[in-house]
Amino acid sequence: MTGVLVTAVGPAPAAVLDGMAAAVEAAFALPCARGEPVAEPLAAYSPARRQWAATEYLRVLLANPAAVGGGRVLGVTERDLFVPVLSFVYGQAQLEGRVAVVSLARLRPEFHGLPPDAGALGQRAATEAVHEVGHTFGLVHCADRRCPMSLSVDVSDLDRKTAEPCPSCSALVEGSREMKGARARLEGSPR
């Protein structure tokens, strides 16, 4: 698959996964499909932090046949993720790579002491999915606060964003695709 495979790592709600796939497909004009669930990387759990290491999720996703075959894989987990230098992350991705992961834990209103809200969870998950997949295209954090590529340090930042990349980020993704296409044509031509 040359598009994006959206797959649960452990349990994750199907409706949220479908919404994330639709948002990524719309944002990047790439085919998206749902993949079979993947087992959680048990070695990722840190008892001291009571969180899960995001890098271990990326390692598991790199072994997915879609990533090995040249596509992108977005893993989705209910676990609260971290990287060593931050107290938590909503997700993590390989910059210009093949894999990304999004955590639903802190996207849920109930994590913050509020009643469950499927609409809020779905919108936040879609926005974060576009953000992390954007990193796989080489996009860095954007200054436009409504762009999904802007930095989110709390859910109020996420709630300000849309799932549609700003014109600048869209142009950068398109430029990245054109450069890769040109490189592929050069590599395939006789020397």
**Per-residue pLDDT tens over the stretch 151-163:** 999 999 999 999 9
Region 24-51: mean pLDDT is 95
Residue 131 exposed, middle or buried by CB count within 10 Å (0-12, 13-18, 19+): buried
Region 71-91: mean pLDDT is 96
Residue ranges and CATH numbers for the domains of the chain are: 4-185 (3.40.390.10)
Q: Is the pLDDT of residue 189 over 60?
A: no
Region 2-22: mean pLDDT is 95
Which entry of 56, 78, 132, 187 is annotated as an active-site residue?
A: 132
Region 64-90: mean pLDDT is 91
65 or 57: which carries more pLDDT confidence?
57
Tokens of 23: 């948002």
Q: Is 128 a catalytic residue?
A: no
- pTM (two decimals): 0.91
DSSP state of 115: -
Q: Is the pLDDT of residue 38 over 90?
A: yes
Region 137-153: mean pLDDT is 96
Q: Residues 6 or more apart from 170 whose CB is under 8 A from it?
A: none
Q: How confident is the model at residue 69 (pLDDT cuts 50, 70, 90)?
A: confident
Q: Is the pLDDT of residue 185 over 60?
A: no
Q: Nearest CA to 89 among 109, 73, 103?
A: 103
For 1-30, give one letter per residue: b (16+ CB within 10 A) or e.
bebbbbbbbbebbeebbebbbebbbebbeb
